[in-house]
Structures are given as structure tokens and as C-alpha cells.
Structure 1
């Protein structure tokens, strides 16, 4: 379930996701980038992450940066997750640090925010309903953003252009519109978002394609949905899928989704 933020926080919080599965046994999941960092709260059993043959248990709450490679996750009990999906520059706004430093990282709330982080985890996990959980999170974010300086208008204009073109825009087209050099744009994306403008555009393009694929009628061919999303080469699309998601487009469409970038495999 997707929940919108309060209007006064929409410039920082993109939306909230409530993800649940009451199956008590082991299930395998795949998580990949949607171009946004975020904050996670497990109010049921935390998941574990499998990387290169090793397994790492997730903490009950944490902040994560940009995901640059897909993750294999395992649930061993009932699943209940509240995800605060931040705007692409949300890590920089909340923490005042270069976003690329948190790429593919998870950091516990109490390590980042000390007592405030521990208190927030306790309030969210013990709140009786989703409205109360979101209320505690929004009060926390509002307090942390009191003295924050947001990205400049050039960066936010670049993000709007990329989104309005659904990721189908090349960097030279951005530079024709924005008063900035390519090197300056690269630096700002790495500082505020964590990845390059080219990679961010590719992620936005993929997300729009996935939404189109999920919303298409049963008889729609994947090739037709791909063409409408700006993919003109099926082999290129398959390679892009394999690299970023680890499966083919047809396998993605057949899988059970909890979110557009989080699925059971």
C-alpha cells in the first residue's frame, strides 16, 4: 500500500510504502533501485540479506542510500515493513552528507541519530496503527529539516526534466536547457543524489517501463510496452534487465510484486 506524505514534507518524502506478507515460512525476494534512498522500519520479522554467499541480518530500522546493484533478501517469518521513500536528494537533506557515501549502505537509526533515532524506532514500532507510525516519522523529519539547505534550482530542474521525459533524455539535452557544464552537473548529482545523471535517467526510464508493463493488458507484448517506453532493441532491454534486476522482463512480469522494485522470486 502506498501512502502520500503530508503536503509540507512532499519535497523530502516521495511516499510511504506498507509491505506485508503473513506467510510464516522462508521466502526469497529481489530488491533493486528505484532511484530513491529511504528509511525502513520492520514491525514484524526483519529480513536477512544474502551477498556473495554471506548472510547479513537487517536491523529493525535503518536508513539506506542509493542501490547500485540488486539485492537478494530472505524473510523467515511474517513480513511487515514500513518504508519511507525519500526524494532522490533526501539523504543529503536529512544527513547533510554527500549522498554517494551511502550508496549500497544500511545504517541503523540509532547510529545516525543517536538517542533521537532510538526513540523514533521505539515510537514507530510500538504505534498501534499506520497513521500513528507515519505521524511519528513526519514529526521526526520535520525537526531534522529545520535548518536544512535544499539542492539548488538547477539540480531540481534537471530532476523535473528527467521525470517529464520518463528518463528518455540524454545529458546533452539537459545541458542545452540548464546553465551548467557537464562536469558541474555530474558533481551535483553525485553530491545530492549519489549517482550520475546518466544512471539516474536510466533508472527512471526503467521504472516507467515497469509501471507500464504491470498496467498493460494481459495480451500486450513486452516488446510493445518496451517500445512505448523508449527501448528500441529487445536484446539491449534484456541485458539491461539482467544487469539491474537479475531476471528477464517476462520473468519479472510473472513474479509476485510487493512494490515496483521489490518482488518475490
Structure 2
């Protein structure tokens, strides 16, 4: 499989934003003869903002209207069409942090569709996009975007510490083997009940704890497939990613990625060798 013609650059946030922002990123389409013009965008429990400075954006085979969007928490892999006119600037928030900047429950933004900037008028993303267009270069745009986020953060209501503790617990325990990261075990380790935990996750993550744990397991299994290739059995991959059995692993993997583990292995083999 040829390269997709995508040039992707990532930039670390300043110190004041590092507890909340994964990265700023810039995606540019470049001319590559015979390029496979689709890039897979995998869910990780986070969300982001997108600003378009190129041609019309197409995702999952559909044109997306507008120039800026909120990219809410995804349940499954999205497919971005890559062409020479692609020119996107984005910010990716850490899981549990997006609601601080968006100012509303993320459960309303969860799914696969990009939410147009004008749908959330309190964010004034269209005004921000106009200012970004006037910036002299990419560095200037990132500086403007960082200032915007710092201002939003100054007026944000801080999430309860128990949310951060729960996210860390799931990241640490979910991949320790089948059953190690069960939601019941998490609730037993917390000073709050399961209903309160579910509400916190819907507000700040946009996913239930169970769905977030599933994304962690699938992300881990993708990493293992890319690293080990055909040398590692899918049964071993399933167990290392926290699954009791291969059937459950295959079901979850296909539901999130849109490919079976074997299909993804073939994709990786063709794409990366």
C-alpha cells in the first residue's frame, strides 16, 4: 500500500496546558504519485478542535461543510480523505479534559460526526478561525490557539480529582490482563458509587467507563499488532490487551476499527512493511 500523501507534524503544548492538551498538530496534503488517499483516525477517548485552511474536508466518504469543528469523542475509527488541498490545524485534548474548554457535557458531542463551529456559539470558533487565517505562519497560529485555550481554562470549572484518579486507574489496570481493570474493581477503589462515576465520565469524557476501557484495550492491541506483526498470535494479542477470549476481542476490534484483527494486520503489513 503506498503512503497516503499526508505530512503530519505535532507540537507539544506549553507548560500551563500540558495537564489537559495532548498536542497541537498540523496535517498537510502533499503530492505522492499513486498515494492511497485515506488516513485512519483511531479513537483514544480524547477529543479536539479542527480548523481548515485548505480545500473541502471529506471524512468517512462524506464532504464536511464549514471551516472549523469540534471533533467529539469517537466510538470508532474515522477515515480522512487526503489530497493536496488538505491543510488542517488541530488541538487534541487528553481524555477527561475537553469539557473544561468546550464548556458543556461531552456526551452531547459523542459519535462520529464533526460538530460545526457555529453550533456552539459560546466558543466563537468561527471568529477564532478568522484570526488564525490572519496569522503570518503556522507558529503564529499555534500561539493564537494556545492563548485562546489558556483564556478558556482560566474560566473553566475544575473537574473533580476523582475523575483524574479513575482515568489513571483504568489506564494502569485495564492492560494488566483479563479482569484486572473491571469497572466493579474501579468502583471498589473509589470514594464514590458507580452512578456518580458514570455521570462524571459522561460529562467530562463523553463515554462510559466501560467504553473508555474498551478503547484502551483496542489501542493496546493495535500497538501489539503493529509491533509484532504475524510473529505474534492473535490469541496472545487478545490476552495481552485484557481480553478473556479471542471471540470477544475480534468483536470489539471490528466494532471500533472497522476491520478484523487479521484485516488490520494485513493493512499494517501493506502500509508499513
TM-score range, shorter chain: 0.7 to 0.9
Which of 176, 189, 196 pairs up with 2:188?
Answer: 176
- In structure 2, the residue matched to 1:260 is none
Which of 108, 112, 119 pairs up with 1:101?
Answer: 108
Structure 1 residues 72 and 256: CA distance shift in structure 2, 3 A: same
Q: Which whole-Å CA distance do the structure 1 matches of 2:267 and 2:141 have between them? A: 29
Cα deviation digits, residues 141-160 of structure 1 (max 9, x gap): 01111121121011111011
Which of 70, 90, 94 pairs up with 2:97?
Answer: 90
- Contact 1:26-1:76 within 8 A present in 2 as well: no
- Contact 1:89-1:193 within 8 A present in 2 as well: yes
Which of 104, 109, 121 pairs up with 2:129?
Answer: 121
Which of 52, 55, 59 pairs up with 1:45?
Answer: 55
SS of the residue 1:145 aligns to: helix
Q: Which whole-Å CA distance do the structure 2 matches of 1:225 and 1:90 have between them? A: 30
Q: Which whole-Å CA distance do the structure 2 matches of 1:137 and 1:215 have between them? A: 34
Which gives a bigger RCO, structure 1 or 2 (Cα 8 Å, sep 6+)?
1
Which of 20, 25, 33 pairs up with 2:43?
Answer: 33
- In structure 2, the residue matched to 1:8 is 16
SS of the residue 2:154 aligns to: coil
TM-score normalised per structure 2: 0.80
Equivalences, count: 256
- Contact 1:166-1:208 within 8 A present in 2 as well: no
Q: Which whole-Å CA distance do the structure 2 matches of 1:2 and 1:211 have between them? A: 19
- In structure 1, the residue matched to 2:4 is none
Q: Which whole-Å CA distance do the structure 2 matches of 1:73 and 1:217 have between them? A: 24
Shifted more, 196-205 versus 97-106: the winner is 97-106
Q: Which whole-Å CA distance do the structure 2 matches of 1:21 and 1:251 have between them? A: 26
- Contact 1:92-1:99 within 8 A present in 2 as well: yes
- In structure 2, the residue matched to 1:189 is 201
TM-score normalised per structure 1: 0.82
- In structure 1, the residue matched to 2:148 is 140
Shifted more, 96-105 versus 155-164: the winner is 96-105
Structure 1 residues 147 and 154: CA distance shift in structure 2, 3 A: same
Structure 1 residues 5 and 166: CA distance shift in structure 2, 3 A: farther
**Structure 2: unaligned runs, 5 residues or longer:** 1-8
For the aligned residue pairs, the C-alpha RMSD in angstroms reads 3.0
5 Å matches for 1:72-87?
72-87=79-94
